[in-house]
Structure 1
């Protein structure tokens, strides 16, 4: 059995890798600059979403996760290679490459988990963003979400556009 360690493959510690996340970069800087930080969804909200799945969907996701940990090479694709590929797209700012790679593994009918992970969450996050934009508070908001939330057909951007917001992605 082979084990995958992103930290070993990149020659970095887990702490160094976690610090590379764009969300951590901006959260750290906002904290140091004493700027307010508002979450679109916190840890409790994320746990509640998983808890909201049917017992069958929870078990299916748990089994898939455990299988990928116990035997990373047994799945439809090599998760270690895929993560390294996505990391490379992130480093190079290759949004199209990431989108193509990310959506290539999400073919077929969406599962209950997929619907929750991207459908429900994207709609909920878009509503919270609209709430920030429409609030009486006069402030500029800088919003950071995972790249996967921009790749699906009914993404956060889609929901904002459907509510008459003009969205201009930074990568175009």
Structure 2
């Protein structure tokens, strides 16, 4: 079953980094090729993140910036999500018991989400709607994040941003991660753990602020069931490495992806080392 912590992590990894005096930042070198790699957490409180001098220097040295999805590709993201989110037949209410549905809609109403907005949705997306709203209510917003700052820097300095994947690929990862979980289970688990939004996010943010990749790995990855980790993280990591390997036009590139993708035996950093890169942390 997908724990709510993992739903939050998925949202942070796929949909939206945080105010910090530290960074999860690495340098990978192979011959004449240099990759600057920043691990992000895609939501922030307050005014958000200011790019450090070392980040700005790395960006300036780079010929291209790679993100999970480039900003212009996100313009139609909502429509793409909704195409997969809507039920082909029936209602969500018909697929959960009455007690669970009543409890779910009551919690949703506390966040200003009416029942009629949830009923046409598949459970996995109804879950995302509720958790994303709770994340926003907790004070975390996309506009304050590091990725927005990187986009602004790229705009001001005419740096191209490329996509490691498509919005459709991200949606597929979300769907496949829960393909073996029933709708009743998804809704009940959301109800069980929705109150932990602040606690979970604050823990993730603390690890990121300290630049503690080990702590982030435990928070983001360690409790994921194997199928979920494969779909949300490892499979996509391998695809990204393959795509980066085909980039023969730039000797220096900046990569900004969710911090959860960097850690572990199947993380981006390990995969780069297996492909002949020397990887070191940037302090």
Q: Distance between the aligned counterparts of 1:115 and 1:103, measured in 2?
A: 11
Hey, which of these two has a bigger chunk of strand by percent? Answer: 2
Q: Distance between the aligned counterparts of 1:117 and 1:138, measured in 2?
A: 28
1:103–1:49 Cα change, 3 Å: closer
- Map of 1:89 onto structure 2: 207
Deviation string 1:73-102 (CA, Å, 9 cap, x unpaired) is 58xxx3431112102222333333222333
1:162–1:93 Cα change, 3 Å: closer
Q: Looking at both structures, which has the greater relative contact order when contacts are Cα pairs under 8 Å and sequence separation is at least 6?
A: 2
- Map of 2:148 onto structure 1: 24
Matched length: 154
- Map of 1:43 onto structure 2: 167
1:20–1:65 Cα change, 3 Å: farther
Indicate the structure (1 or 2) with the bigger Cα radius of gyration.
2
CA contact (8 A) 1:118 1:152 kept: no
Which aligned segments of 4 or more residues in structure 1 are displaced greater than 6 angstroms?
none
- Map of 1:115 onto structure 2: 230
CA contact (8 A) 2:261 2:268 kept: yes
Q: Distance between the aligned counterparts of 2:239 and 2:135, measured in 1?
A: 31
- Map of 1:145 onto structure 2: 257
Task: Give structure 2 stretches of 5+ with no counterpart.
Answer: 1-106, 112-130
Hey, which of these two has a bigger chunk of helix by percent? Answer: 1
CA contact (8 A) 1:123 1:159 kept: yes
1:165–1:69 Cα change, 3 Å: same
- Map of 2:179 onto structure 1: 58
Secondary structure of 1:105's aligned partner: coil
Deviation of 1:141 after TM superposition, in Å, equals 1.0
CA contact (8 A) 2:135 2:197 kept: no
CA RMSD in angstroms comes to: 3.1
Secondary structure of 1:141's aligned partner: strand
- Map of 1:159 onto structure 2: 271
- Map of 1:72 onto structure 2: 193
Deviation of 1:144 after TM superposition, in Å, equals 0.5
* TM-score where L is the length of structure 1: 0.70
Q: Distance between the aligned counterparts of 1:151 and 1:33, measured in 2?
A: 30
Deviation of 1:145 after TM superposition, in Å, equals 0.8
Range with greater deviation from structure 2 (161-170 or 146-155): 161-170
Deviation of 1:131 after TM superposition, in Å, equals 2.1
Deviation of 1:149 after TM superposition, in Å, equals 0.7
Task: Give structure 1 stretches of 5+ with no counterpart.
Answer: none
